Structure 1
Amino acid sequence: MKILFSPSETKIAGGDELKFDKSSLIFPNLYEKRVLALHKFNDFLQNASFDELSKLFGLKKDEEVKYYSNDIFSKPLMKAILRYNGVAYEYLKYRSLDENAQSYIDENTLIFSNLYGSILAKNFIVDYKLKQGENLPDFVFDDFYKQNFSDELDKMLENEDIIDLRAGFYEKFYTIKKPFLTVKFLKNGKVVSHFAKAYRGILLRELAINKVQTIDEFYNLNIKKLKINKIIQKKLRNEIIFDIFE
C-alpha cells in the first residue's frame, strides 16, 4: 500500500544539524537531479529582488522574506512528516500515534513537495517556502519532477495498491499509470473543499492505525463521522464519495 499526500504551506521551524546527502531523500540514484533543482532554487534566493522573493514565497513581511531567503543548504533538517503542520497534518496527529503506526506512515506515505518533488514521509527536508504554483523564470518544478522522477515512481508503485489523497494541483508532479483510489467528501449533499484537508489527514491516520495493506481492507474500515455514499469509476480512477455526518 502506498498513500500519495500533499505538503502544506505552513511548516515547523528548526530541526537537527544533519548533513544533506543521498540518504536524506528517496531515490538516491536521482540525487543529482534533485540537487540540481535545489541549487536552482537556492541560487535564485541569493540573487532575486525583494519583490521577486515575496511573490515566490507568497509573503509580504520583511523579516519573513529574509528568513526564507537564507541558504537552504545551511538550514537544519527535519523529517518531512514532522516538518509540515497544515490542516491535514494537524488532523493526522502523527506525534500521538504509536511507533508501529508512525512507521507505517514513514514507509508508505509519498508527499509531493513543491520544492523537493516526491519524498517519503520519513525523508529529511529544510524549512523552506515555495508558494504552490510558483516557479523560477527558467525552471518549472512540477514539469521537472514529472519528467525526471515518473519512471522511478512507476517502479515503486508497480505492485502496490494506491490511495491518492493529494490535492488536485499535485497531480502535475506525477500521473498514476495503474488503477488507484481517490476520495471526495460531501456534507449535506455539497462537496467539501477547504476542510477536505482535515478529512484527508483523518483518513491517513486511520490507515496507519489499522495498518491497511489493500484497497479491500480500506473499504472495510469503520471511520468515525464518515460513510461511503458511492464509488465512481473513471478509467483508472476509482473515486469514493464519503458523506460526512455528525
Structure 2
Amino acid sequence: MIILLPPSETKRDGGDGNAALDYGQLSFPELTEERQAVSKALIELSGDPDAAQSALGISTKQLFEVERNRTLAVAPVMPALKRYTGVLFDGLDAASLTPEEWAFAEKCVVVHSALFGPIGAGDPIPAYRLSHNSKVPGVPLKRHWRASVTAALAAVEGLQLDFRSEAYAQLGATSPRSVYLRVVTEGADGKRVALSHFNKKSKGLFARALIRAGIDHESIDSLLTWANGAGFRLEPGAPGELDLVVENE
C-alpha cells in the first residue's frame, strides 16, 4: 500500500548541513533524468529574480524562495515528510511519530512533488519553491512529468490511496489499483458536498491515523473495515473514489 500525498508550497528551513541533494537517495530512481532537468532549469531561472518571481507566482516578500531555488544543489536536506509544512502536514505531524511509525511512513508514504516527482517520506530533499502551475522555461511541467510519473506509479504493487489534488493528479496518473480520497460533508438531506478549507486538515489527520495504525492494507475492504473501527466515516463514493465524511467545522 502507498499513501500518495500532495506537497505543500511551504517548506521548513534547515536540515543536515553536512549533506546536499543526492538524486541517488531518492525513491523512484527511474525519474532521475526528469528530476535533474527540472532542477537545472529552476536553478537557471533563479539567476534572474524578476523572471523567477513571475514564473513562480510569488510576492516580493517571498523572494527568499528564489534564493532557495538558486542554492538547490548545495542546500541542507531533511526527510521529505518533515520538510513540508502547512495544514495537511501539520495534521500529520511527522515530528511526533514514534520510530516504528516513522518506519511505516518511510515504507508507505509518497509525496508527489512538482520538482522531484513522487518521493518517499524519508527521501532527503532541500527546501524549494515550485508548484504544479509554475512556469519553468523550457520545461512545461504537465508534459514533462505525466508519462514518466504515470509509469512509475503503475509499477508500484498494491493498493494506492490518492490524497492529491486534481491539479497534482494531472502531473501523473495513478494505477488501476488506486482509489481517490474525497473529503466531504453531508447535509440534512443526505447530499454530500466536497470540502475546501478543511479538506487538507482532514487528509492530514487521516494519513496520521493510517501511519499510527501501521496496517499495510491490501484491499479497499480492509481499509474500510479498519477506518470505521478507528472512528472514521469512510464509505465508497463514485467509481474509483472513497468518501471521507466529516463534520463541517
- Paired residue for 1:145? 145
State the Cα distance separating 1:150 from its structure 2 match.
Answer: 2.6
Could you tell me whether the CA contact under 8 Å between 1:59 and 1:65 is conserved in 2? no
CA-based RMSD: 2.2
The alpha-carbon distance between structure 1 residues 210 and 217, as it changes in their structure 2 partners (threshold 3 A), is farther
Residues 162-198 of structure 1: CA deviation (Å, up to 9, x unaligned) = 1111111110121123142222223352431121101
Assess if the C-alpha contact under 8 Å between 2:21 and 2:74 holds in 1: no
**Contact kept? 1:38, 1:115, Cα under 8 Å:** yes
Q: Give the C-alpha shift of residue 118 in structure 1.
A: 1.1
Q: 2:34 touches 2:144 (CA, 8 Å); kept in 1?
A: no
Q: Tell me if the contact between 1:57 and 1:130 (Cα under 8 Å) persists in the aligned partners.
A: no
Distance 1:49 1:10, change over 3 A: closer
Match for 2:43: what amino acid?
N
Distance across 2 between alignment mates of 1:69 and 1:118 = 19
Counterpart amino acid of residue 227 in structure 1: R
Q: Give deviations 1:196-228, integer Å, cap 9, x for gaps.
A: 10111111111111112223332122344x423
Q: Does structure 1 residue 42 correspond to structure 2 residue 43?
A: yes
* Secondary structure, aligned partner of 1:130: coil
Cα distance, 1:66–1:31 mapped onto 2, change above 3 Å: closer
**Aligned pair count?**
239
Aligned-pair CA distance for 1:69? 4.6
TM-score, normalization by structure 1: 0.87
- Aligned equivalent of 1:208: 211
Give, in whole Å, the separation in 1 of the partners of 2:210 and 2:35. Answer: 29
1:197 alignment partner, one of 179, 195, 200: 200
Where does residue 175 of structure 2 map in the other structure? Answer: 177
Cα distance between partner residues in 2 of 1:12 and 1:35:
22
Separation in structure 2 between the aligned mates of residue 53 and residue 64 of structure 1, nearest angstrom: 10
- CA offset digits 1:55-79 (Å, max 9, x no partner): 4152322752553353211111111
CA offset at residue 136 of structure 1? 1.3
The sequence identity of aligned pairs, in percent, is 23
In structure 2, the residue matched to 1:187 is 185
Q: Tell me: CA distance 1:22–1:116, structure 2 relative to 1, closer, same or farther (3 Å).
A: closer
The 1:239–1:69 alpha-carbon spacing in structure 2 relative to 1, beyond 3 Å, is: closer
Structure 1 moving runs of 4+ over 6 Å: none
Give yes or no for contact 2:28–2:118 (8 Å, CA) kept in 1: no
Q: How far off its partner does 1:24 sit?
A: 2.3
Once the 2 structures are TM-superposed, how far is the Cα of residue 9 of structure 1 from its aligned partner? 0.9
Runs of 5+ consecutive residues of structure 1 not aligned to the other structure:
none
Give me the whole-angstrom Cα distance separating, in 2, the residues matched to 1:7 and 1:87: 11
